[in-house]
């Protein structure tokens, strides 16, 4: 090789090897794995495991067992399962149970047993899904409400049938925690009705109970005394811009953390973030509840948002645990297209942050 050829080759080597390596190092160096030594550890280090709605790909499947092994390697000790009942629209007083054969009780129960065999504990978190949400954004569970007392009574009777069936599954399988309702903002103000439902659940189920409030709607709920934990689906805006710094994201929690602590103090109960998640896109912490995957892919921003959360709630004993939204029973299913920009931390930089926060391999909780 001539001197000129050798010089040209060296320049290309610098261009295609050294520079990309330097860029990778620069990006990775901005994301730090939290040091959880000498800190108050979370009791519930939870993953939300979403069901793929196909028999053989969802709950109770061999593919799901493979995901259990992965979750164990990250340091999770709890897994949340989401079951569903359905309404045609938000004003329908009838809740339809059992519409999905792939989520029949035997599959859910097998999933719980498989998780227990792996050493996990389980939270069962039932959801209401309403048809037509794409056509009418108000067809969402938080919008369910009935001014007419007769219609309200019928709805609560139907809901009671649904949640008591879930309580029976939870008791039969030794599920450690049950969520009595999820993001039902409109009907959560009917304290007496919820008190009666919770009392009926207690007759059937011996595990821990919580309710998953939508953000700081938790402050308006009056039946926390009937439950063991205060649950919050914690999608709080932490910034108003894309590409924020870690310091800015951490500061973003300052608006909410005192309110969350005050709620825990008021009722003398610990808080669980029954869901928390960030998409892997630029601007993920602006409106973290949004499903739309707008913006450029950014594993870094997703990871920084979780790192900021770990810093904001370090040594906060009122926070009992969190559940990361979300993983799938089959990561290579038809949902795969959501993986790159979606909420899942699977195989992303955020998962390294979560593993460092939780303590890799610490799989067993005292409850």
Residue 362 has pLDDT above 70, yes or no: no
User: Counting Cβ atoms within 10 Å, is residue 65 exposed (0-12), middle (13-18) or buried (19+)?
Assistant: middle
What's the pTM value of the predicted model, to 2 decimals? 0.87
> Which residue carries 């730090």 as its tokens?
32
pLDDT at 294: 82
Residue 281 lies in a domain: yes
Does residue 303 belong to any structural domain of this protein? yes
| 22 in any annotated domain | no
Are 263 and 225 a contacting pair, CB within 8 Å? no
Distance separating alpha carbons of residues 329 and 65, to the nearest angstrom: 8
Q: How large is the average pLDDT for residues 283-307?
A: 93
Task: Tell me if 366 is assigned to some domain.
Answer: no
Mean pLDDT over 277-290 rounds to 96
Instruction: CATH number of the domain at 319, please.
Output: 3.20.20.80
pLDDT at 12: 38
Asked if pLDDT for residue 298 goes beyond 60, the answer is yes
Listing DSSP states for 157-181 in one string gives HHHHHHHHHHHHHHHHHT-SEEEEE
User: 96-100, 186-190, 314-318, 336-340: lowest mean pLDDT where?
Assistant: 336-340
Phi-psi region of 231 (alpha: psi -120 to 50; beta: other; left: phi over 0): beta
Cα of first residue to Cα of last residue in the chain, in angstroms, is 69
**Is 54 inside any structural domain?**
yes
Whether 51 maps to a domain, the answer reads yes
Distance between CA atoms of residues 216 and 235, nearest Å: 10
pLDDT tens column, 335-361: 565 688 999 999 999 999 999 999 873
User: What does the pLDDT read at residue 27?
Assistant: 43
Note down the domain range covering 174.
41-358
CA–CA gap between residue 229 and residue 269 (Å, rounded): 6
Q: Where are the alpha helices (DSSP H) in the chain?
A: 3-13, 19-29, 62-74, 105-118, 149-173, 191-204, 246-252, 257-267, 299-312, 349-358
Establish if 313 belongs to a structural domain.
yes
Residue 164 has pLDDT above 70, yes or no: yes
80-93 pLDDT, tens digit each:
999 999 999 889 99
Number of domain units in the chain = 1
pLDDT of 39 over the 90 cut: no
Residues sharing a CB contact under 8 Å with residue 4, sequence separation 6 or more, in sequence order: none
Say if residue 14's pLDDT is above 80: no
For the residues 49-70, what does the mean pLDDT come to?
95
Nearest to 223 by CA among 242, 199, 206, 243: 199
Question: Which residue in this structure is represented by tokens 């029949």?
Answer: 104
Give pLDDT tens digits for 138-155.
Answer: 778 988 999 999 999 999
Pick from 300, 210, 214: which is nearest to 29 by CA?
300
Chain CA centroid to CA 192, Å: 28
Candidates 237, 266, 262, 268; CA nearest to 251 is 237
pLDDT digits (tens, 9 = 90+) for 42-54: 999 999 999 999 9
Residues contacting 22, CB < 8 A, separation 6+? none
Q: Is residue 302 part of a domain?
A: yes
C-alpha neighbours within 13 Å on the C-beta side of residue 343: 21
**Is the CA virtual torsion 360, 364, 366, 367 positive or negative?**
positive
């Amino acid at each position: 090789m001539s001197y000129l050829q050798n010089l040209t080759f060296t320049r290309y080597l610098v261009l295609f090897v050294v520079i990309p390596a330097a860029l990778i190092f620069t990006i990775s160096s901005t994301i730090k794995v939290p040091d959880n030594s000498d800190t108050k550890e979370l009791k519930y280090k939870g993953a939300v495991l979403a069901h793929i709605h196909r028999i053989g790909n969802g709950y109770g499947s061999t593919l799901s067992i493979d995901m259990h092994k992965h979750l164990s390697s990250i340091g999770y000790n709890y897994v949340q399962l989401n079951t569903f009942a359905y309404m045609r629209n938000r004003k329908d007083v009838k809740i339809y149970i059992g519409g999905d054969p792939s989520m029949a009780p035997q599959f859910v129960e097998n999933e719980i047993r498989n998780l227990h065999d792996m050493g996990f504990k389980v939270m069962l978190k039932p959801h209401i899904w309403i048809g037509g949400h794409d056509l009418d954004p108000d067809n969402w569970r938080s919008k369910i409400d009935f001014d007419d007392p007769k219609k309200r009574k019928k709805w609560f009777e139907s809901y009671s049938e649904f949640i008591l069936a879930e309580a029976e599954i939870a008791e039969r399988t030794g599920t450690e925690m049950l969520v009595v309702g999820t993001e039902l903002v409109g009907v959560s103000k009917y304290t007496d009705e919820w008190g009666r439902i919770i009392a009926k659940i207690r007759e059937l189920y011996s595990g821990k109970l919580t309710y998953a409030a939508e953000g700081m709607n938790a402050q308006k709920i009056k039946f926390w005394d009937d439950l063991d934990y205060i649950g919050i689906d914690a999608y709080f805006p932490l910034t108003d811009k894309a590409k924020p710094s870690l310091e800015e994201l951490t500061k973003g929690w300052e608006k909410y953390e005192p309110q969350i602590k005050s709620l825990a103090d008021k009722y003398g109960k610990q808080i669980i973030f029954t869901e928390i998640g960030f998409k892997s896109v630029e601007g993920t912490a602006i409106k973290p509840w949004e499903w739309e995957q707008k913006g450029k892919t950014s594993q870094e921003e997703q990871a920084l948002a979780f790192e900021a959360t770990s810093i904001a709630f370090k040594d906060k004993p009122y926070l009992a645990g969190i559940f990361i939204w979300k993983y799938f029973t089959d990561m290579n299913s038809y949902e795969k297209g959501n993986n790159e920009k979606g909420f899942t931390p699977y195989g992303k930089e955020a998962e390294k942050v979560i593993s460092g926060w939780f303590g890799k391999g610490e799989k067993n909780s005292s409850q």
